[in-house]
Amino acid sequence: MTTTMPGVRPAVSHFSSGPCAKRPGWSLAALNDAALGRSHRAKLGKGKLKRAIDLTREVLGVPADYRIGIVPASDTGAVEMALWSLLGARPVTMMAWESFGEGWITDVVKQLKLKDVTVLKAGYGQIVDLAKVDTKTQDVVFTWNGTTSGVRVPNGDWIAADRDGLTICDATSAAFAQDLAWDKLDVTTFSWQKVLGGEAAHGMLILSPRAVERLTSYSPPWPLPKIFRLTSGGKLIEGIFEGETINTPSMLAVEDYLDALEWAGSVGGLKGLIARADANTKVLADWAAKTAWVDFLAGDPAIRSNTSVCLKVVDPTIAALSNEQQAAFAKSIVSALEKEKVALDIGAYRDAPPGLRIWCGATVETSDVEALTHWLDWAFETAKAQLAKAA
């Protein structure tokens, strides 16, 4: 390794885990057909919103009898809507292996104050023992991909096909990059700004027929804000799933999502998107396998994310430092790369262990990830030399 700067830079330096890189070749010109200055309730606006729903179904392969709705407040809003509208009918198991799962536990235990709750947690880089999860009799809430910890559930085999409860899945950094088991998911949420690199503020809520049945047969004991209401008079508000949004959406963001969905179709749909993310992650895996100073935060390859790839510094000199010193060292790597405009926003999440988080979703080009690996080595050697000099 050397402190000599590599000769090739990534063409696009955006490796943030959200909002994520725009699709290759994107420009503002792609949004020229946006329904700006028009009501989202007009025929044009509703048509575009319905088109976004239809293309989502097409690209993701969502079953025809599942409802898809565009809801406020990104993935967070979609998850909260599900928790507040559906839980309380039966016992619930809450699972967390990263910060967002922890947040859903807080909402259910401290805000909704449900009493019959089983909480299962795993540390960053790990997931709970899925074989021990009661998916037959309880509602289950989990994240498919742990955005802040670089892990994912390997599949949906652990979920009972003949379950009585509902599965509520936060899939925001998994949708469009991983093969979601729709027959095992009753509520699925994600946001536009993750795998397809769309703009923020809008969430997607996908409901199975079982989830719809719960909505129309169960009324939670707490009041629901208007922004959470999915039913009226005991019936599903079908308009939400036809493009009639609860509040005013950004038609510019809708156009951007449509552009991303069209691009997804052009690269082979879901299979093509998964292949692109897998190829990006393989570059980092191959590099890490031959690089002594770095490793995946998730030790088990079977549960490693192919989108939000989390890395830790395992060089003995750095690993011997205090947690605060390790965090400072990781930040020095991040700062060096940001200063060179080589990689932006790749620091570990604020609640995660010190390290790096590199987005490898489908909108990132594999050649850029390959170029980045050389710069990571350069930044590490530079930071380590500075540390030795300071000592």
Total-model pTM? 0.97
In the predicted model, is pLDDT for residue 1 greater than 60?
Answer: no
Residue 384 to residues 321, 326, 329, 376, 390, Cα–Cα distance (Å): 12, 11, 8, 12, 10
DSSP 8-state symbol, 339: H
Give the list of residues 6+ apart from residue 160 with CB closer than 8 angstroms, or none.
135, 136
> Would you state the pLDDT for residue 391?
80
CA atoms of 185 and 168, how far apart (whole Å): 7
Asked whether the bond before 19 is cis by omega within 30 degrees of 0, the reply is yes
> Would you state the pLDDT for residue 308?
98
At 3-43, the pLDDT tens digits run 799 999 999 999 999 999 999 999 999 999 999 999 999 99
At 55-98, the pLDDT tens digits run 999 999 999 999 999 999 999 999 999 999 999 999 999 999 99
Name the token pair of 74.
């990104």
Arithmetic mean of pLDDT, 332-348:
98
Helix ranges (H only) for 178-268 are: 209-217, 251-266
Mean model confidence pLDDT for the chain: 97
Task: For residue 129, give the nearest of 105, 98, 95, 161 by alpha carbon.
Answer: 95
At 268-310, the pLDDT tens digits run 999 999 999 999 999 999 999 999 999 999 999 999 999 999 9
Contact, 116 vs 109, CB < 8 A?
Answer: no
Give the list of residues 6+ apart from residue 330 with CB closer than 8 angstroms, or none.
313, 347, 348, 354, 355, 356
> Would you state the pLDDT for residue 2?
57
Contact, 51 vs 70, CB < 8 A?
Answer: no
CA atoms of 85 and 220, how far apart (whole Å): 7
Domains and CATH numbers, the chain: 28-265 (3.40.640.10), 269-390 (3.90.1150.10)
Residue spans of beta strands (DSSP E) within the chain: 67-72, 92-96, 117-121, 139-143, 145-146, 151-152, 167-170, 187-191, 202-207, 231-232, 235-236, 294-296, 308-313, 356-359
CA atoms of 33 and 181, how far apart (whole Å): 34
At 211-251, the pLDDT tens digits run 999 999 999 999 999 999 999 999 999 999 999 999 999 99
